[in-house]
Structure 1
Amino acid sequence: MDVSSFVLLSHEQALRRQLDVAANNMANVSTTGYKREQALFHEYVENTQDAPVQDARKTSFVLDYGAVHDVSQGAFQATGNALDVMIDGPGYLNVQLPDGSTAYTRAGFIKVLDTGELATSGGQRLLDENGRPINVPTDQVGSLTIAPDGSVMAGEEAVGRLAVTSFADENMLEARGDGVLTGSGGQMMTAAQTKLRSGGVEGSNVEAISETTHMVEILRSYQTSQRLSSDLADMRRNAIGRLSKLT
């Protein structure tokens, strides 16, 4: 396989990666708090001093560097549930995983477990500023509200405050696939820094029309690359055929 084939192969692998990411975005267009991903690629230039012509000495390949998150905020979706919250700005709600470790989510569907603890719709317990689950008196569940600073109010009394953590580089967070992310290096936000909006949740920031257009562009680029591969194969066959007639 010659250099041109390697270059086209690296390009097609990059396009396949882009298509996978775009398809995953489309699958999560209705997922609460989902952040659109975008494939990240770098150019790798290889210098070949023994190339037959000057223009062929530099060969550009495509390297896959993973995916980055679009951290722009999704639209507010009203639910009518006073416990549901949307984080207005940066940050993630702190939740407890089954192994006791802390994870993060922007999916603000909140419910009260039979044990009286606040949890997400997936059953992960929500944590307070001290890393402990928030317990609610069973006789005050019906009067629960959540203040903009994250305070959980049972009538006029605060029974806890939802912990919200921000990250300087949100691309360091790793998605688990259930609306929950894991990572380290976050900073707990103070009550003054926390801005929650109750009565609804944050929708996905994926724009279906834009993502569909992007997928079409990827497919067209792949088709172009395939045509180039076919043209190169034809050139090789013709060259071999001519050489065989000369010998």
Structure 2
Amino acid sequence: MDVSSYVLLSQEQALRRRLDVAANNLANMNTVGFKREAPVFREFVKQGETTVTPDAKKTSFVLDYGAVHDASSGGFQVTENPLDVMIEGPGYLSVEAPGGGTAYTRAGYIKIAQSGELVTAGGQKILGEGGQPITVPPESAGRLSISPDGSVMGVDGPLGRIAVTVFDEKNMDPRGDGMFNGTGGRELTAAETSLKTGGVEGSNVNAITETTDMVEILRAYQTSMNLNESMSDLRKKAIDRLGRVG
């Protein structure tokens, strides 16, 4: 293939990446706490081996640079479960990750496990201040409440406080299971924490936006295919003319 074919191929790979991200966003539009992702690309300029002038024969390629997630909040979805929470503002709930370590999530489904510990819908332990699980005595199980500052209140007083940690969003890495890995976070104090109970945070995906983006991707891919066919026709005509000259 010549250089023009490689340039078009890099563009088509970028379009496929955009399509994969848009499709994943649409698939998770009803996933609690899901954050919309957007691909990031960068331009790679290659200087030709032989040039007439220093600025001549520069070729521009598209490179996949990664993806970022939209940290804006989703809408409040009422569940009428007093233990379910939505974080109002920035921050993530700390949970015990599968296999050990700490993961972070915006999905605020909370229940009491048979062991008496607060866990997520997936069974991961909710971590309180200092990274410790929160255990609920049997007598408090049916009369538990969560204060706006994250304090878990039993019949005899507070049992702990749900930890909310904030990060620089560039340090957040999606795990693919509704949770994130994060580095360099700061645990918020009670005065800085704001939880809304009785519901959870919905996805921040806008179906119309994602569908429109998918249509634009399809049209761009069709344009790229047409260019590829036009270049192929030009090559055939050039070869045919060279054959006649010979």
Using structure 1 for the length normalisation, give the TM-score.
Answer: 0.96
Alignment of 1:1-247 (within 5 A): 1-48=1-48, 50-51=50-51, 57-155=57-155, 157-168=157-168, 170-247=169-246
Deviation, 1:156, is 6.2
Deviation, 1:55, is 8.1
Regions of 4+ moved over 4 Å: 51-56
> 2:166·2:186 contact (CA, 8 Å) conserved in 1?
yes
Name structure 1 gaps, 5 residues minimum: none
Percent identical pairs in the alignment equals 60
Using structure 2 for the length normalisation, give the TM-score.
Answer: 0.96
Q: Decide which moves more: 180-189 or 104-113.
A: 180-189
> Residue 130 of structure 1 aligns to a residue in which SS?
helix
**In structure 2, C-alpha distance between the alignment counterparts of 1:218 and 1:137, rounded to whole Å:** 54
**In structure 1, C-alpha distance between the alignment counterparts of 2:144 and 2:170, rounded to whole Å:** 34
Deviation, 1:59, is 1.3
**In structure 1, C-alpha distance between the alignment counterparts of 2:54 and 2:23, rounded to whole Å:** 41
Aligned length: 246
Cα-to-partner distance string for 1:106-158 (whole Å, 9 max, x where unaligned): 00000000111000000000011111110011111111111111001114611
Give the RMSD, CA atoms, in angstroms.
1.5
**In structure 1, C-alpha distance between the alignment counterparts of 2:20 and 2:32, rounded to whole Å:** 20
Name structure 2 gaps, 5 residues minimum: none
Letter in 2 for 1:24: N
